Amino acid sequence: MSSYTRVALVTGANKGIGFAIARDLCREFPGDVVLTARDEARGRAAVQQLQAEGLSPRFHQLDIDDLQSIRALRDFLRKEYGGLNVLVNNAGIAFNTDDPTPFDIQAEMTLKTNFFATRNVCTELLPIVKPHGRVVNVSSSQGSQALENCSEDLQEKFRCETLTEEDLVDLMKKFVEDTKNEVHEREGWPNSAYGVSKLGVTVLSRILARRLEEKRKADRILLNACCPGWVKTDLGGAHASRTVEEGAETPVYLALLPPDATEPHGQLVRDKVVQNW
């Protein structure tokens, strides 16, 4: 047996849903919990807040938009823990609906963080996830809504069981290009950069889960996307219907699936229930 302590990691965990997930994992996960944040001061303040509650998370800086930052975290996890047991990809951004930033800039920035940076974290950290590991990508039912608002041709592509990661990356790049050229509606895209970014996260989760099934079946790693619901955060706004604690429930449930669990895997889960795709 490995002598390493088990470790769970949450990205974007200094506030909001990420902070609530880190708090719950500190209470329930049998091992160390690493809280990450882009801003070191805010991350350390969040750790102090949890310490004041009698919990003991660790802090590591992580800017998911910076590949070097992701790799530094990977090297830390390898050295300290010999890998990773639980990964919760929570970090993400959204523009307010009344933000005057041009739509093409919003699209580029939102996809850069929510899709491309999340994909980079998966690319760097999935290889060090240990057997029976759990990976949770925080997505949104706005992604499913975006899919419904795509043209039939695009819906077919996103739903295709043989869609590759490269194909998906090309589709996400095309959305950004089409917004720049002001043809995204004509090309069948919806008017929600956030929705398209989360559609990408959900489809990426399906593709990565399928690859784990092919390449590492014996390791029984479970990887899912989830929708935390509409939560009162900086991102969700004050009128949202759920508290951050309620928003954390499904991600934490997926992160703590028992070692003998075989499902869900490659699914979108909301309120602990697999959603139709």
What's the CA gap between 64 and 266, in Å, rounded? 22
Q: Look at the alpha carbons of 157, 97, 274, 211 in this order and tell me if their dihedral is positive or negative.
A: positive
Question: Contact at 8 Å (CB) between 222 and 265?
Answer: yes
Question: Contact at 8 Å (CB) between 225 and 201?
Answer: yes
4 is catalytic: no
CA–CA distances in Å: residue 188 to residues 32, 150, 161, 196: 45, 5, 20, 12
Residue 207, token pair as written in the block: 């593709």
- Say whether the peptide bond before residue 30 is cis (omega within 30 degrees of 0): no
Residue 48, token pair as written in the block: 């102090």
Known catalytic residues?
Answer: 194
